[in-house]
């Protein structure tokens, strides 16, 4: 017997994963609703995470005049005293516009946006705690997508007060640009915010329990970033765990397990996030989250209850906005029998530090461990005409190429536009392209894309040198033939 549900698909959470699941289902002619709190339309992505942090970064770059200092001198500033309201003005504008775009997209696809918090009553029934009303709404759905994202981890030894000791969702609520700051956790969030505050002139101490930061990136590029951050008076405390964080009206004290104590005006705690599943009453749906609040799914994004899918940060790695969107689209397609292809395995990583980092493919370390023979080509922005024009003398692009097949295996970029430029390498790699494609291709001049050509020629020169010497040696020593 066919069941009749109030909606074909109910999506819990309006972040990137939830939005795309909802729109895909609506495009397939399904009746869809999305549930989220009014103040969180667009999710963590638009309201507290990706978009605010990236907008803050642009505001910092513009107002500090940092990008222009190589051209106009070290004292160049657009504004002498940068206040939090200078920074927040741009933020509110972008968040407001982004939220409007999302609301309009949902509306024109006839998706109902229900303001409130959802929890399960049974595997097909949700209760929505309606915002601003004392009532609940109960609704049934044939398919449910959980896209509830994450919340910052808040360990008990850190006394969060929302004023001086903040998590990364609260950091934009500081009332002034702090003179000094401790950032706990050198994950992507910690390093991005640390670099922005350092650029604003805050004396930042970055504390990380591992011996290194961003250890998944190319070590040479991480070294370049550290050099820049030190130049902005940032100090690093690697291999140090935080034992406690306390605050008073006057400031904060961060005590490390090694016994060191660091005083600062503000502490931002960014040591991981956990799945936002506590309000869902998962057990009523027959589901269970792991100890970090995350749900496990199969390759079609189905939980252990097949008509309940989970996408986005709530399922863990890689926890990125772009991946979450595609997971949502794929989950809805699977649920409503729309044939789709799996995602390409090759995905870029973009880290919006100042300066920014981006890469795609393998690192030298990984390839060495896999015993893959490779050659490396490097291009430095300071040798590109565009690098001179924009005043970026530190940027670099590294191309890693298979020494025998000449396929491009990795591209690693540091400097202006790295997060955009990486897609050129990604596209060539995705099509199985070799370094010769770049050697034989004419690129616009003067551009930063030219870095690809320069690095490709560098690789080609090195490979030619090896080939020549090998054949000379073979000619001189017949036994090598
Ligand atoms: C500071 C920061 C910077 C980031 N920068 C980047 C970046 O530069 N690039 C990038 O790709 N990614 C970045 N990310 C990660 C990116 O924001 C996430 O990958 C993305 O937002 C995850 O999307 P999602 O679909 O899981 O939902 P989220 O955006 O996490 O949103 C989840 C939504 O679910 C809602 N919700 C939760 N529980 C319920 C409930 N019971 N009922 C109703 N609604 C509920 C919440 O209110 C929220 O709106 C960043 C994250 C942070 C924190
Ligand atoms: N540009 C981007 O793509 C971007 C930007 C920001 C966030 N994100 C996403 O958000 C996710 C969460 O980021 P995150 O930085 O919060 O998490 P994370 O888990 O990657 O980093 C947390 C860091 O804190 C350290 N740490 C934990 N406890 C500590 C302690 N007591 N003392 C000192 N250090 C400690 C950990 O070793 C780790 O390096 C990332 O995985 C990423 O996918 C992406």
Ligand-binding annotation for 433, yes or no, is no
Residue minimizing CA distance to atom 43 of ligand 2: 319
- The mean of the pLDDT values for the chain is 95
> CATH topology of 165-271 equal to that of 355-475?
no
Residue 133: the pLDDT is 80
| Options 3.90.740.10, 3.50.50.60, 3.90.850.10, 3.40.50.880; CATH of 7-152+274-335 | 3.50.50.60
Please, which pLDDT band fits residue 478 given cuts at 50, 70 and 90?
Answer: low
Report strand pairing: 180-184 vs 349-351: unpaired
* Residue 397 DSSP SS3: strand
Residue 2 confidence class, pLDDT cut points 50, 70, 90: low
- List the beta strands (DSSP E) in 283-429: 308-310, 349-351, 357-361, 374-380, 396-402, 408-414
Q: Which of 45, 170, 326, 353 for mutating ligand 1's site (highest number of atoms within 8 Å of CB)? A: 45
For domain 355-475, the question of CATH label 1.10.3470.10 is answered with no
Q: For residue 241, count CB atoms less than 10 angstroms from its CB and return exposed for 0-12, middle for 13-18, buried for 19 or more.
A: middle
Helix or strand holding residue 62 (H, E): helix 50-64
CA of 269 from ligand 2 middle (Å) equals 10
The pLDDT, as a whole number, for residue 481 is 53
Question: What separation, in Å, do the N-terminal and C-terminal C-alpha atoms of the chain show?
Answer: 75
Q: Which atom of ligand 1 is nearest to the CA of 152?
A: 53
Statement: residue 120 has pLDDT above 70? yes
Residue 190 annotated as binding?
Answer: yes
- Predicted pLDDT at 480: 53
Q: How far apart are CA 315 and CA 290, in angstroms?
A: 10
What whole-number distance in Å separates Cα of residue 241 and Cα of residue 269?
12
Tell me the whole-structure pTM to 2 decimals: 0.95
The confidence band for 312, taking pLDDT boundaries of 50, 70 and 90, is very high
CA pair distance 53, 32, nearest whole angstrom: 31
Residue whose CA is at the smallest distance from ligand 2 atom 41? 319
Domain parsing of the chain, residue ranges: 7-152+274-335, 165-271, 355-475
Pocket test for ligand 1, best of 10, 11, 12, 13 (most atoms within 8 A of CB): 13
Mean pLDDT, residues 265-288 taken together? 97
| pLDDT of 54 strictly over 90 | yes
Given a cut of 80, whether residue 291 has pLDDT beyond it is yes
Q: Is 283 annotated as a binding residue?
A: no
**How far, in Å, from the CA of 193 to the mean position of ligand 2?**
11
CATH architecture label of 165-271: 3-Layer(bba) Sandwich (3.50)
Res 479: pLDDT: 63
Residue 35 near residue 342, CB atoms below 8 Å? no
pLDDT digits (tens, 9 = 90+) for 213-229: 999 999 999 999 999 99
- H helices of 320-371, in order, are 321-335, 364-369
Q: Which atom of ligand 2 is nearest to the CA of 319?
A: 43
Whether residue 201 has its Cβ less than 6 Å from ligand 2: no
Average pLDDT over residues 59-82: 82
Report d(CA 355, CA 188) in Å as an integer. 13
* Of 260, 261, 294, 254, residue with least CA distance to 277: 294
Interval 466-471 mean pLDDT: 94
Q: Give the per-residue pLDDT at 375.
A: 98
Read off the pLDDT of residues 395-438 as tens digits, 9 standing for 90 and up.
999 999 999 999 999 999 999 999 999 999 999 999 999 999 99
């Amino acid at each position: 017997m066919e069941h009749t549900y109030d909606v074909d698909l109910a999506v819990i959470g309006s972040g990137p994963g939830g939005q795309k699941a909802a729109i895909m289902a609506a495009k397939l002619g399904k009746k869809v609703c999305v549930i989220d709190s009014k103040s969180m339309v667009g999710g963590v992505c638009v309201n507290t995470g990706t978009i605010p942090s990236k907008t803050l970064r642009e505001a910092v770059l513009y107002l500090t005049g940092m990008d222009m200092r190589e051209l106009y001198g070290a004292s160049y500033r657009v504004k002498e005293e940068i206040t939090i309201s200078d920074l927040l003005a741009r933020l509110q504008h972008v968040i407001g516009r982004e939220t409007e775009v999302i609301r309009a997209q949902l509306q024109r696809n006839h998706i109902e946006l229900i303001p409130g918090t959802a929890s399960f009553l049974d595997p097909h029934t949700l209760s929505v705690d309606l915002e601003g009303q004392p009532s609940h709404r109960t609704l049934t759905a044939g398919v449910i997508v959980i896209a509830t994202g994450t919340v910052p981890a808040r360990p008990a030894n850190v006394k969060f007060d929302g004023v001086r000791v903040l998590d990364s969702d609260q950091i934009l609520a500081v009332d002034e640009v702090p003179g000094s700051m401790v950032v706990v956790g050198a994950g992507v969030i910690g390093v991005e915010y640390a670099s922005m505050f350092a650029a604003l002139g805050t004396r930042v101490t970055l504390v990380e329990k591992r011996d290194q930061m961003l250890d998944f990136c190319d070590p040479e590029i991480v070294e370049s970033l550290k050099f820049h951050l030190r130049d902005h008076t940032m100090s690093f405390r690697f291999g140090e765990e935080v034992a406690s964080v306390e605050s008073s009206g006057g400031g904060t004290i961060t005590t490390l397990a090694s016994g060191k104590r660091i005083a600062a005006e503000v502490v931002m705690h960014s040591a991981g996030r956990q799945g936002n599943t506590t309000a869902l009453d998962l057990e009523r749906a027959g589901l269970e989250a792991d100890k970090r609040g995350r749900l496990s799914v199969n390759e079609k994004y189905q939980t252990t209850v097949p008509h309940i899918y989970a996408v986005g940060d709530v399922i863990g790695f890689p926890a990125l906005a772009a991946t979450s969107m595609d997971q949502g689209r794929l989950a809805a397609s699977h649920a409503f029998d729309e044939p789709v292809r799996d995602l390409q395995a090759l995905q870029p990583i973009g880290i919006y530090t100042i300066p920014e980092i981006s890469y795609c493919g393998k690192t030298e370390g990984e390839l060495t461990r896999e015993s893959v023979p490779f050659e490396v080509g490097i291009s430095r922005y300071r040798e590109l005409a565009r690098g001179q024009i924009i005043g970026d003398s530190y940027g670099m692009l590294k191309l890693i190429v298979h020494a025998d097949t000449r396929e491009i295996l990795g591209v690693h970029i540091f400097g202006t536009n790295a997060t955009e430029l990486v897609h050129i390498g990604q596209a060539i790699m995705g099509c199985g392209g070799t370094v010769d494609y770049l050697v034989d291709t004419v690129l616009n001049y003067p551009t930063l894309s030219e870095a690809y050509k320069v690095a490709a020629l560098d690789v080609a020169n090195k490979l030619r040198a090896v080939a020549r010497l090998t054949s000379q040696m073979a000619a001189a020593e017949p036994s090598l033939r």
